[in-house]
Structure 1
Amino acid sequence: MADITIKDIARLANVSPAAVSYVINDRPGVSPETREHIRRIMADNGYTPSLTSRKLKLHRSFNIHVVIGSVHVAFDDLFYNSAIERMMQVCNENGYSLVLSDTARFEHSSLHRAILQKDVDGVVFLQDVVSEAVAHLQEAGIPYVVLDAHKLSPHHNSVYCDYGEAAGAAVNHLLEQGHRRIGLVGVDRIPEFFEATRAGYTATLSSAEIAPKPEWVHPCPDDRSLPDDLCDRLRAAQLTAVVCATDLLAVNLMQQLQKKGIPVPEALSVCGMDDVLIARYCTPTLTTVEIDKQQMGEAAIRLLLDMLDKKRPTTGQSLCIHSTAVVRRDSVAPLHQP
C-alpha cells in the first residue's frame, strides 16, 4: 500500500489540503472541531507528517535544550528530575524533542554546536544562565528561560518559586503544632536562596510575635553534607522544631540526629521544603512543603512555545509558582507543653 498523503487525509476528512496543512503546522484558520476531526483521521490512518518538511517550512529544528550548567546541578538531582520529566512530556505533546546539554565548557558543548547549526529553537537554563551561552543565543535570536531562577532580571525570562512564601508555610505549620522555638537550617551556596528562605522564616515568626535568635539559624554549604556539630548546636539552642530549606537537607539532618540518639519527632520536629520522592520513604517520613516541580517545568516550556509563536515578548517574562501546601507526614509532632 502506498504511503498516505496530505491529499488522502483531506479527502477522507472532506476538507481542503490547505486545512490539513494548517493543522499539521499548528496554524490558525481551522475551527477547533475541524482541527480535532483532521487529527483523528490522521491518527486512524497512521499518518505522520514529515518532520524534515515541517522544519524546512517553519524554519524550526523542533529541539529544545535544557542546560545543566556549572551551578552544582547534577543529573541525579531529585528536584530537577521531576521538572525535566514534565518538560519532556510537554515537548512531546507539541512535537518537540528535549535535549540535555552540559555547558561546563561552552565552546565544546552540544548547545554551542546546535546554535551554530541552527538546530535549537529554545533553551531552558536550570537556576542560572550561562553568560557565554546567553550571548550566542541573543545574537541568534533564540529565546531562553531560566527555571527555578534565584536571581530575577528584566533581561531574562524566568520561572521561579517564592521560597520565602514556602518557608513561611513551613513555619506556620509548626506554629499550629504548638512550637515556638523554631530553627532554620538553610543552604547558603546560593545566597539569594538562603536569604529568601530566611526572610520568609523571620517574617512568619515575627507575625506570631516571636523574635528568632541568631543561634536558631544555621546556614550549611550545601544540602548533601552537614557540619558535624550541627545537631549539638540545635540542641544547645533548645529548639523544638526545625525548618530545612530542602528535603535532602532534612533527611540528612534526621540521619545525623538518629546517629546521636536524638529521636525525630519526639525530641525535635523536622519539616522540609520540596516534597521529592525520598520524603515518602525515609524514616520517619518527612513532613514538607510541596514545591510544584512539574508545574514549574511545564510553565518553562509553555513560556518558550509562546515566545516561539510570538504570543509573548522574548525578554523580561517572569512567572511565579506559588507553593504553600504542607504535606503532613511523620517527622513533625505537636508540642506537648509541660
Structure 2
Amino acid sequence: MKLNLSRRDFGLTAAQMMVGSMAGGALIGAGPVFGQANRAVNLGTFGSIDAQNYIRAKGLAEKTFGAGTKVEFVTVRAGSEVISAMAGNSLDMCNLGSSPMVVGYANGVQASLVYIYKNIVDSEALVVQNSANIKKLSDLKGKRVGLPFNTSVHFAALAAFKTAGLGVNDVQLINMRADTIASAWTRREIDAAYIWVPVIPKLVEDAGTVIFKTGDLNTAAGLVMFDAFLVRDEFKKKNPDMVLAFLKDFEQIATTFKQNPKEVVDTMTKFLGVDEAAVMRSLNTFYPVSAKEQLTAKWLGKPGEKNSAVVKTLQVQAEFLKETGQINALPKDMNGLVDSSFVAQLA
C-alpha cells in the first residue's frame, strides 16, 4: 500500500520504536481468552500514565489476552508513529488523538476507531501571559501564539479562534515543539500557547492564565474532542475476542484511575520513575466515557448509525487537515472509520 503521509514524522516506522514484552500476573475482572495458542498482540503505549502501562506494571497482560499469547508493548512518541506502524502491520492497538487517525484514514490505512479512550476537557488549553492584556479569545488578534503544528491542539486552536471571528491570518501562529514552549514562554517570546498537560501548569505557574480549554469546543462549536483506541482492521477481524477482552479490562482500569488514585500513584511512580504530582496531573485530566454513553449519538452511536457527533467532529478535522495541506483529499465517508460494535457488547 502506498502512503502519502504528511503529518509530523510520518516517515518514522515501528523499527525505530522501543519494544518490550510483559506477561503474567492475575487480572482484575475480565476473563482470559481461551483455546487459541500461538497468538500475538502488539499493544501501543506512549510511555505515560495509561491503561497499557498499568497492565504492564501489574503484570496482567497474559491473563488479559490468554495463556500462550505473546504480548508486546510498543512505545511510541507520536500519533504519526502509531499510524505508520499500523500501516506496516507492526502495531495492533493503541490510543491516540483523532487528527492522526483522520490522516491515516485519508491515506488508506486499514484501522478502526473502536472505543473512546477519554473525553478531552482540560488536558489541552490556551494559556496567555498575564502581561499580554488578553482577557478573551478576540484579544488574540495580532498576538504571538506558540503551539505544535499538525496536532490536536493546532486543530483545537483554529476551531477556538473561529468561534471568536478570528481567521488563521489574524493571529501570529508559531510552530513549536511541546518541549520548547516553556522556555519560549519564560523569555516572553510568545504571548500565548495552546498546549497540553504537563506543560500547562508550568505556564500557569510562570505568570499565565488559562482562558480557553479544548473541552469548551463542545459548547462553543458543537465538537467533541477525544482520544480513542484505534485497532488495525486485520487484527480486529482475526482476533475480536482479544480486542473485547482488552476493552473490558480498560473499563475496569479506568474506574480504578478515578476511584483509587492512591493505588495508581503507588504503582505508576515506581514503574515509570515519575513523581506523584505527574501521576495526579494525568489522573485529574482523565475523563473516561462509559460504553453506554458512547453508544449515543453524542459519541459513537450504535453500530450502523451514521453521522454521530464523533463522525461530525472527524469530518471537521478532515476539512481542517485538507485546508492546511496535511491530506490531499477528503475521505468520501468518515463513518467508515468508526466501529462501535465492541462498545455495543460492553454497554
> Scaled by the length of structure 2, what TM-score is found?
0.36
Higher RCO (CA-CA < 8 Å; seq separation 6+) = 2
